[in-house]
């Protein structure tokens, strides 16, 4: 019996996974394929799903990411998708804070129940952001980024428009040391020749490198690490009386804020431009006070994108803020008073 191929998209928060996914879906649909998607988001709401082709079946796994329980859930989602829809291909977009090995383990569990196999693990890297962390050379985010690079079969050095060619060359050398076997492509908005999809579907099953296989890596860590035990007790949930929700996931904090009224777009843009550096990712939907239109915003490492959307289904006006060690109370207060 033919196995359903699975592609895993990995990469830190805001690196460009959804941008890549939309391009892949366009290619797959144009080729007459029937893909299905599993999206795994850090927050409580799936905003990225709003950007995708409506006709493509999608399953959401919210609020979770790298913990042990999600592995079992992922296995069940895959089984159900295969049983119900028998798609030609399943694409899994992991959360930006997922260690790809957790996703790999989840798929491996699913493979005990249904005929599936991983064909590729594609890690998207935010070029400018990675270089910042590399220069710092430490921190859990940096180690997570390296794990995501190390496990991949293909690497996209994305947002290369935001760095110089010299930095790009330097970066490629660095990531080649971390993962000497993966193909490396530099991209802008994840734009590259999508014809590889057909090739990759014919390829052998992908198995991430095992310990010691990356001999030339300068760091002591040689393998994609399994962090199961680290993550058993690191979830904290707090709700306030407005239903706003904070969720600290490991070292990355997530604050979800619900808007009760339309928002002045200009004031909002100004607010976002003044967010502290510690809040490096935000996304959401709000209603414009000027026009009454629904607006989707994306904020990643100080770059804000804002566009009109017509939400699929009933979607609240909501914003999700992600970062490290920022004060959620201060952020909430700012939102309540200035927006
Ligand atoms: N300048 C620039 N911006 C980009 C590029 N690729 C993506 N972006 C923007 O970066 C932001 C984040 O992109 P996404 O595709 O949502 O990133 P993601 O990895 O799915 O984000 P999470 O799901 O939050 O982890 C969006 O505003 C994109 O439009 C690029 O090559 N250059």
Say if ligand 1 is within 6 A of residue 56 CB: no
The β-bridge partners of 248 are: 236, 253
CA distance 101 to 107: 10
Half-sphere exposure in the Cβ direction for 203 (13 Å, CA)? 16
pLDDT for 189 beyond 90: yes
CA distance 215 to 225: 16
**Residue 251 CA, ligand 1 centroid: distance in Å:** 21
Environment class of residue 176 by beta-carbon count within 10 Å: exposed (0-12), middle (13-18) or buried (19+)?
middle
Say if ligand 1 is within 6 A of residue 129 CB: no
| pLDDT tens, residue by residue, 292-310 | 999 999 999 889 999 999 8
Per the CATH hierarchy, to which homologous superfamily does domain 235-338 belong? CobW-like, C-terminal domain (3.30.1220.10)
**Structural tokens at position 65:** 């990411």
Segments of 215-261 assigned E as strands: 235-239, 245-249, 252-258
Say if ligand 1 is within 6 A of residue 48 CB: yes
At a CB cut-off of 8 Å and minimum separation 6, what does 187 contact? 16, 156, 157, 158, 160
Measured by CA distance, the residue closest to atom 32 of ligand 1 is 159
Atom of ligand 1 nearest to the CA of 124: 19
CA distance 151 to 169: 21
Q: Tell me what the mean pLDDT of segment 64-85 comes to.
A: 74
CA distance 265 to 248: 28
Angle at 50 between CA 110 and CA 290, to 5 degrees: 160
**Residue 167 CA, ligand 1 centroid: distance in Å:** 19
pLDDT band of residue 71 (cuts 50, 70, 90) is low
pLDDT for 158 beyond 70: yes
Report pTM.
Answer: 0.87
CA distance 201 to 39: 20
Pairing of strands 279-287, 294-300: antiparallel
Q: Tell me what the mean pLDDT of segment 301-325 comes to.
A: 90
- List the one residue out of 228, 235, 279 whose CA is nearest residue 257: 279
From 11, 19, 161, 306, the mutation candidate for ligand 1 (largest count of ligand atoms within 8 A of CB) is 19
Atom of ligand 1 nearest to the CA of 300: 11
**Residue 98 CA, ligand 1 centroid: distance in Å:** 17
Say if ligand 1 is within 6 A of residue 123 CB: no
**Residue 328 CA, ligand 1 centroid: distance in Å:** 24
Complex ipTM > 0.85: yes
**Residue 113 CA, ligand 1 centroid: distance in Å:** 34
Angle at 61 between CA 59 and CA 62, to 5 degrees: 135
In terms of residues, how long is the chain? 339
Kindly report, as residue ranges, where domains of CATH 3.40.50.300 are found in the chain.
4-228
Measured by CA distance, the residue closest to atom 6 of ligand 1 is 189
Kindly report, as residue ranges, where domains of CATH 3.30.1220.10 are found in the chain.
235-338
Per the CATH hierarchy, to which homologous superfamily does domain 4-228 belong? P-loop containing nucleotide triphosphate hydrolases (3.40.50.300)
**Structural tokens at position 123:** 């890690």
- Give me the DSSP letters along 168-180: HHHHHHHHHHH-S
- List the one residue out of 224, 245, 284, 283 whose CA is nearest residue 66: 224
**Residue 332 CA, ligand 1 centroid: distance in Å:** 25
């Amino acid at each position: 019996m033919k196995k359903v191929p699975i592609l895993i998209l990995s990469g830190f928060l805001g690196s460009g996974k959804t941008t890549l996914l939309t391009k892949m879906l366009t290619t797959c649909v144009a080729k007459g394929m029937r893909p299905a998607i599993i999206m795994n988001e850090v927050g409580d709401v799936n905003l990225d799903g709003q950007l995708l082709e409506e006709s493509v079946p999608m399953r959401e796994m919210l609020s979770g990411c790298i913990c042990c329980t999600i592995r079992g859930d992922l296995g069940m989602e895959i089984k159900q998708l295969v049983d119900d829809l028998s798609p030609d291909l399943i694409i899994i977009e992991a959360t930006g804070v997922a260690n790809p090995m957790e996703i790999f383990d989840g798929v491996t569990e699913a493979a005990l129940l249904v005929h599936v196999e991983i064909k590729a693990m594609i890690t998207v890297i935010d070029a400018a952001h990675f270089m910042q962390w590399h220069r710092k050379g430490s921190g859990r985010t940096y180690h997570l980024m390296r794990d995501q690079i190390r496990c991949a079969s293909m690497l996209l050095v994305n947002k290369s428009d935001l760095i110089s060619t010299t930095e790009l060359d330097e970066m490629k050398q660095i990531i080649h040391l971390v993962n000497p076997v993966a193909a490396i492509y530099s991209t802008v908005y994840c734009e590259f020749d999508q014809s590889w999809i057909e090739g990759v579907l014919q390829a052998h099953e992908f198995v991430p490198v095992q310990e010691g296989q990356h001999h030339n890596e300068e760091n002591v860590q040689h393998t994609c690490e399994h962090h199961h035990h680290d993550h058993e007790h690191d979830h904290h949930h707090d709700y306030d009386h407005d239903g706003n929700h904070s969720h600290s996931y490991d070292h990355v904090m997530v604050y979800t804020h619900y808007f009760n009224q339309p928002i002045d777009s200009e004031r909002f843009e100004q607010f976002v431009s003044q967010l502290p550096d510690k809040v490096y990712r935000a996304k959401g939907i709000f209603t414009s006070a000027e026009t009454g239109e629904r607006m989707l915003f994306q904020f990643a490492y100080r770059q804000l994108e804002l566009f009109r959307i017509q939400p699929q289904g009933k979607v609240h006006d909501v914003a999700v803020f992600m970062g490290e060690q920022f004060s959620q109370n201060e952020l909430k207060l700012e939102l309540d008073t200035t927006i």
